[in-house]
Structure 1
Amino acid sequence: MTLDSADDLDRLKEIGRICAKAVSVMGAAIEPGMTTAELDAIGRKVLEEAGAQSAPELSYKFPGATCISVNEEIAHGIPGPRILQPGDLVNIDVSAEKAGLFADTGASFAVPPVRREVERLCRDGKRALWVGLNEVRTGRSLAAIGNAIGAFAKKNRYTLVTNLSSHGVGRSLHEEPTEIATWPDKQEKRRMEEGMVFTIEPFLSLGAEWAESSEGDDPWTLYSEPRAPTVQYEHTVVVTRNGPLVVTLAG
């Protein structure tokens, strides 16, 4: 999506704040013994009270209001009977629609007690996201995002999952510009345009390089390959001449 008006921006900011609030409230509610279905219900309530609809349900008939992925699951986890345990690594991904516009955000949370390496991974996952966001500016190459995140990961001895990319968002959940790499991609020649809207969502890991689906009946959940602790932090951003305008900040 490319913004056409101030009204578009106001509506995008509104749904962005709603998504951010859902992630914040859900993250604060995490505790050992609760199920991922119970956590999802908390997110659903935030969305519904704000007059928003779950984007995965609306767009793809996903079986949950939010995506909740635990440990070996790194994306598109289905909320259900899984009970959260001490030490679990939980990713919450919230996307929603209101008044015709969509936003998408997410974060990873470690359930105490937290291993030092996982605590560091979470900290650096947030840093990796902002390393990418700081490359956003009108006229700059989209490749700059992945190049910067890739350099950060290499310097700090992490891997990146390289088949889960960022994407355009706005009038639908996934749209142009499609498949924006959060890792170095020599084939990327596109440039950022004023008002362009997309996500940035690197998957930073202690060893995983790929996301793979299950061989069972679940067509949604993706798992790290090789199995390794992996975090994802995500924002929806608008390209401006002055840099990134992040619309999915809580508050």
Structure 2
Amino acid sequence: MSITKEEELIGMKKASEAVACTLREMSDHAKPGMTTKELDEFGAKILAGFGAKSAPYLTYGFPGYTCISVNNEFCHGIPSDKTILKEGDLVNIDVSAELDGYWSDNGNSFVLGKDIHQHQQLVDASRQILHKAIHNIKGGVRISDIGYLIETEAKKYGYKVIKNLTGHGVGRSLHEEPGEIANYRDKYNQARFRKNSVVAIETFISTTSSYADTLKDGWTMVGNKGGFMAQHEHTIVVTDGVPMILTEMNGINNYTN
């Protein structure tokens, strides 16, 4: 969507506060021994407290309130009472929701407890790349140039990007124009970021895979060549200068579990 009046910005800020607070509290609440379903139900209560509704459930009938992916699961993991979190797990939580007709989206990957499996470097790279990408976005910048920046930075860290997972427009629905905001230079995408538009910027930084495949459950995605992936995501408003980060209170730029 494009912000055209103050009430739209207020609506987006409220929806973004709901998802950002939910993501932050879920990240803080996650502990070894907890099931991902328990963590999801904890998040559901926070969303409900804001009067917000789960976007993946509303839009796609997703079997959970939030997406929780663990270790080799890249994204869209289904919360389950069979998945028990363990020390050192690489955890990704993606929270998106609708509130009073406005939609917002954010995500966080983190290491649960001690970094016994050496995932922290991947997590830190993803966070730092997202920060750099966002601070290079303004009205008139080519979307493909931000994709090029993300992939170039990933390579500097020794990582790859997932090419079939992208950021997207957001606001009046979960996925809107400008459509796909890829993590690499898509030479066929000549679109530019527009001032006052609302977009969800995501990193998909991987150790070995370049594409994600969907498992038989129809939701969970894993790497085509295995490995691990970190994802971080903010919903932002594009300006003439530094974007307005609507989900900044999720704390992913300075968060340590």
Same fold (TM over 0.5): yes
User: For residue 242 of structure 1, what is the aligned residue in structure 2?
Assistant: 241
Distance 1:111 1:202 in 2: 20
Distance 1:71 1:225 in 2: 14
Counterpart amino acid of 2:137? V
Structure 2: any 5+ residue segments left out of the alignment?
A: 251-257
- State the secondary structure of the residue aligned to 2:13: helix
Contact 2:88–2:117 (CA under 8 A) maintained in structure 1: no
TM-score relative to the length of structure 1: 0.96
Distance 1:115 1:71 in 2: 13
Structure 1: any 5+ residue segments left out of the alignment?
A: none
Structure 2 residue 168 is matched with structure 1 residue 171:
no
Counterpart amino acid of 1:136? I
Distance 2:41 2:55 in 1: 15
Residues 192-223 of structure 1, C-alpha deviation per residue, up to 9 Å, x if partnerless?
Answer: 11111111111111112111011x3x111111
Q: CA deviation at 1:128?
A: 1.0
Distance 1:191 1:165 in 2: 15
Counterpart amino acid of 2:65? A
> CA distance change for structure 1 residues 115 and 145 in 2, over 3 Å: closer, same or farther?
farther
| Identity over aligned pairs, percent | 41
User: For residue 37 of structure 2, what is the aligned residue in structure 1?
Assistant: 37
Structure 2 residue 48 is matched with structure 1 residue 48:
yes
Matches for 1:24-103 after TM superposition, within 5 Å: 24-81=24-81, 82-103=83-104
User: For residue 222 of structure 2, what is the aligned residue in structure 1?
Assistant: 223
Matches for 1:172-211 after TM superposition, within 5 Å: 172-211=173-212
Aligned residues: 249
Residues 40-86 of structure 1, C-alpha deviation per residue, up to 9 Å, x if partnerless?
Answer: 01110110001111111111111111000111111111101211112
- State the secondary structure of the residue aligned to 1:227: coil
Distance 2:208 2:188 in 1: 24
Contact 1:182–1:200 (CA under 8 A) maintained in structure 2: no
- State the secondary structure of the residue aligned to 1:201: strand
Distance 1:20 1:115 in 2: 28
- State the secondary structure of the residue aligned to 1:74: strand
Contact 1:168–1:176 (CA under 8 A) maintained in structure 2: yes
Contact 2:235–2:247 (CA under 8 A) maintained in structure 1: yes
Q: CA deviation at 1:116?
A: 6.8
**Range with bigger deviation, 18-27 or 115-124:** 115-124
Contact 1:135–1:144 (CA under 8 A) maintained in structure 2: no
Q: CA deviation at 1:115?
A: 3.7
User: For residue 19 of structure 2, what is the aligned residue in structure 1?
Assistant: 19
- State the secondary structure of the residue aligned to 2:179: strand
TM-score relative to the length of structure 2: 0.94
Q: CA deviation at 1:87?
A: 1.8
Contact 1:54–1:65 (CA under 8 A) maintained in structure 2: yes
User: For residue 233 of structure 1, what is the aligned residue in structure 2?
Assistant: 232
Aligned Cα root-mean-square deviation (Å): 1.2
Contact 2:178–2:191 (CA under 8 A) maintained in structure 1: no
- State the secondary structure of the residue aligned to 2:7: helix
Q: Which consecutive aligned stretches of 4+ in structure 1 deviate over 6 angstroms post-superposition?
A: none
